């Protein structure tokens, strides 16, 4: 648990007290000993009693509170949350005498933090939670050289993390910061599992010494009403001053009522859509505490737009092996309240779940050569069976394509990419010090091939041959199967570090030329990774981000045209949807803008790279090409899930149905029905990931509770 400076001081200094003076609480609280005539010793005892009350009381108060720092996930599209480590000290003035710990220092501590030792690891984080510098960073997972002394300014609104321990390998404090934090990463502070802002953490760590306002509502929320109750209480109100709490912004200017005990309550009117508000606590007209409220006012759903059961390709292939197995599963899905199925028909390795493949000749998934994934080939057509059985019971089937992945580097599964090596993404990663390499030849690719990490083989979305081949797969499905719609999955770039091949270079030059600019140095004009593994943004960095997003948008334009062709000739109800991660604040790194083109960035959202949100970037939205959107709110707490549903509502602004999407492995059984219900009311429906994690006996009851009107 987190120790405050006073506790640390007490632990160290009490060791110098004579044993007879502090050997037990009984001695301290015992009657005054007339034989003790030295007033100095008596006064020392009195001071120790006060320290004992203060420090032990603080420890007890904190016993249930755990503060952690969460590193950025190495791939949030695979694992949303990053690794975490407990923060044990905040702004401790005696920190240099502390070991085996991670410590946090904010501007309350001072303007900078220095130490002549070179055996520490430190991380500087700005006000938007973005890592801006790392001292003694690990290179390639190796122990740092430890040549840098600690000297970092403490950013205004940000903080510095410092790790100290007596063994890099066994204690792990320095190892955690050195190996998991990189410049440009976006990190999170958490208290008891929930995200917490620095100001609240500081207040808690300082013992809440000044007046403050604690609200009962989440700072980011969706409201289904035109009015919102704002309530809370003033902590440590100053009875000698006049207290006032106001809510203001977007036409709202409301003074909340305060009772004699400091409880605050009042109703505010909400505009349709997003409301950006400030809540201020004032004493005699001076602002003492200020917080932001971001509330999205949403119309109530007459009924859920869709409730989708996602069926990933390979994890379910071993059980859905014939018509009977498919029919049994679909009957349970119907009973649970699902309206549709999301079936993976092109997996990340490039194998497909359908037989009628005359255009792309993509192999069926039974052709995988990996011994762990081999299945007997009985001629069964999973898509055909799914459609026949689902339509019998009134369920729709949306088919999902993993568009820009064509292999699994870890397992060595490739359906077609080995015949198209020129499609493979060319990456520029910190581990490779700026060298441009195929993913399979990179450091992470080699680690994946040796089984140390999971890496999928992405192809280059800017390559028109790649795009054409993906469209062939979609067309053969639309032509041969009565599907209800298609779903874009992994219709994006791999990550921040792709793609830097010659095809991309030429396409980026053409894009810049259309903007009246000239590409002089590639990739440096976009960004480069230097010989220290650090990203250096180039003069066209914002253009680069916009270009990548426009590339994906242009592909969805082509895809929409194909869908519309079959919609007009075969199925007028045919839909096109997408699945994306809900973490929009860093999703630009994947080259996707899934917000409405009408979305305008507001600083209260606190996104880490706000400069990219230009008029040109807004126009790269592909929302106009799809009929509904599923966002992966793959978090472990109800509060964080609801926050990202609200963010999705803000970004899409009611332009189309938005479905909160839940990963069953992230939720405890007792959480599920409440979280499902929240998604059904605060978004337009629900997607459940994945069938392979469903235990029907419990799940049917969880869905029943979620769908009840109570």
Over the stretch 561-616, which tens digit does the pLDDT of each residue have?
999 999 999 999 999 999 999 999 999 999 999 999 999 999 999 999 999 999 99
Contact 439, 494 (CB under 8 A): yes
Please write the tens of the pLDDT for every residue from 184-205. 999 999 999 999 999 888 878 8
Contact 131, 181 (CB under 8 A): yes
User: What domains appear along the chain, each with residue ranges and CATH number?
Assistant: 5-62 (no CATH), 67-205 (2.60.120), 212-297 (2.60.40.10), 306-426+456-494+548-707 (3.20.20.80)
Start-to-end CA distance of the chain, whole Å, equals 39
Q: Is pLDDT above 60 for 48?
A: no
Tokens 């292939």: give the residue. Answer: 317
- Could you tell me the pLDDT band of residue 107, with boundaries at 50, 70 and 90? very high
Kindly report the number of other CB atoms within 10 A of residue 343's CB atom. 26
Please write the tens of the pLDDT for every residue from 255-289. 999 999 999 999 999 999 999 999 999 999 999 99
Print the SS3 string covering 80-102: CCCCEEECCEECCCCHHHCCCEE
Mean pLDDT for the stretch of residues 352-360: 98
pTM for the model stands at: 0.90
Q: Strand 112-115 and strand 150-153: pairing?
A: antiparallel
pLDDT attached to residue 208: 57
pLDDT attached to residue 364: 98
Residue 589 CA to residue 583 CA, distance in Å, equals 11
Q: Where are the alpha helices (DSSP H) in 485-578?
A: 502-514, 541-569
User: From residue 293, how far is each of 154, 245, 248 by CA, in Å?
Assistant: 27, 14, 10
Q: Strand 685-689 and strand 658-663: pairing?
A: parallel
Please write the tens of the pLDDT for every residue from 402-420. 999 999 999 999 999 999 9
């Amino acid at each position: 648990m987190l120790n405050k400076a006073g506790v640390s001081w007490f632990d160290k200094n009490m060791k110098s007290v004579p044993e007879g003076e502090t050997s037990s609480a009984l001695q301290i609280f015992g009657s005054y000993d007339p034989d003790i005539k030295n007033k100095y010793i008596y006064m020392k005892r009195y001071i120790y009693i006060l320290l004992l009350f203060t420090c032990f009381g603080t420890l007890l108060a904190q016993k249930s509170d755990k503060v952690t720092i969460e590193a950025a996930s190495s791939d949030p599209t695979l694992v949303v949350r990053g690794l975490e480590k407990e923060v044990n000290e905040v702004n401790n003035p005696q920190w240099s005498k502390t070991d085996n710990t991670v410590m946090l220092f904010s501007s309350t501590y001072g303007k900078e933090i220095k130490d002549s030792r070179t055996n520490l690891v430190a991380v500087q984080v700005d006000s938007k939670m973005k890592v801006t510098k790392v001292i003694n960073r690990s290179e390639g997972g190796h122990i740092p050289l430890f040549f840098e002394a600690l000297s970092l300014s403490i950013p205004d609104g940000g903080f510095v993390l410092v790790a100290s321990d007596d063994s890099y390998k066994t204690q792990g404090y320095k190892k955690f910061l050195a190996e998991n934090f990189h410049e440009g990463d976006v990190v999170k502070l958490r208290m008891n599992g929930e995200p917490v802002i620095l100001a609240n953490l500081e207040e808690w760590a300082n013992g809440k010494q000044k007046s403050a306002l604690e609200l009962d509502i989440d700072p980011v929320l969706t409201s289904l009403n035109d009015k919102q109750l704002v309530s809370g209480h003033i902590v440590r109100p100053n009875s000698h001053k006049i207290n006032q709490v106001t809510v203001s912004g977007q036409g709202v200017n409301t003074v909340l009522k305060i009772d004699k005990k400091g409880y605050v309550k009042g109703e505010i009117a909400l505009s349709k859509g997003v409301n950006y508000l400030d809540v201020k606590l004032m004493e005699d007209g001076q602002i003492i505490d200020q917080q932001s409220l971001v509330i999205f006012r949403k119309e109530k759903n007459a009924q859920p737009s869709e409730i989708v059961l996602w069926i990933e390709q390979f994890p379910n292939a071993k059980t859905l092996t014939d018509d009977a197995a498919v029919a049994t599963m679909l009957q349970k899905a119907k009973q649970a309240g699902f309206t549709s199925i999301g079936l993976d028909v092109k997996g990340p390795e490039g194998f497909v779940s359908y037989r009628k493949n005359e255009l792309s000749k993509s192999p069926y998934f039974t052709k995988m050569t990996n011994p762990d994934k081999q299945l007997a080939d009985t001629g069964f057509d999973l898509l055909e069976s799914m459609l026949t059985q689902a339509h019998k019971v009134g369920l729709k089937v949306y088919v999902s394509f993993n568009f820009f992945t064509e292999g699994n580097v870890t397992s060595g599964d490739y359906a077609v990419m080995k015949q198209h090596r020129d499609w493979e993404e060319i990456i520029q990663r910190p581990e490779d010090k700026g060298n441009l390499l195929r993913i399979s030849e990179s450091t992470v690719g080699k680690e994946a091939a040796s089984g140390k990490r999971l890496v999928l083989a992405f192809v280059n979305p800017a390559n028109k041959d790649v795009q054409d081949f993906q469209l062939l797969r979609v067309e053969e499905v639309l032509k041969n199967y009565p599907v209800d719609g298609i779903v874009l999955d992994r219709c994006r770039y791999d990550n921040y570090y792709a793609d830097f091949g010659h095809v991309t270079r030429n396409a980026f030059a053409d894009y810049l030329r259309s903007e009246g600019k000239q590409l002089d140095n590639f990739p440096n004009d976009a960004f480069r990774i230097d010989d220290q593994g650090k990203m250096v943004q180039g003069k066209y960095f914002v253009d680069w981000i916009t270009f990548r997003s426009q590339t994906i948008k242009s592909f969805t334009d082509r895809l929409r045209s194909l869908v519309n062709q079959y919609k007009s000739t075969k199925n007028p109800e045919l839909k096109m949807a997408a699945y994306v991660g809900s973490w929009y604040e860093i999703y630009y790194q994947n080259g996707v803008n899934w917000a409405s083109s009408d979305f305008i960035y507001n600083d209260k959202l606190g996104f880490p790279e706000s400069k990219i949100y230009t008029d040109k970037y807004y126009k790269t939205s592909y929302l106009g090409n799809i009929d509904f959107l599923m966002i992966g709110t793959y978090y472990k707490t109800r509060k964080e899930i609801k926050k990202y549903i609200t963010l999705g509502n803000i970004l899409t602004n009611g332009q189309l149905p938005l479905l909160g999407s839940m990963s069953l492995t992230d939720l405890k059984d007792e959480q599920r029905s409440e979280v499902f219900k929240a998604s059904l009311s605060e978004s337009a429906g629900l997607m459940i990931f994945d069938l392979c994690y469903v235990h029907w006996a419990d799940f049917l009851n969880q869905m029943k509770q979620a769908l009840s009107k109570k």
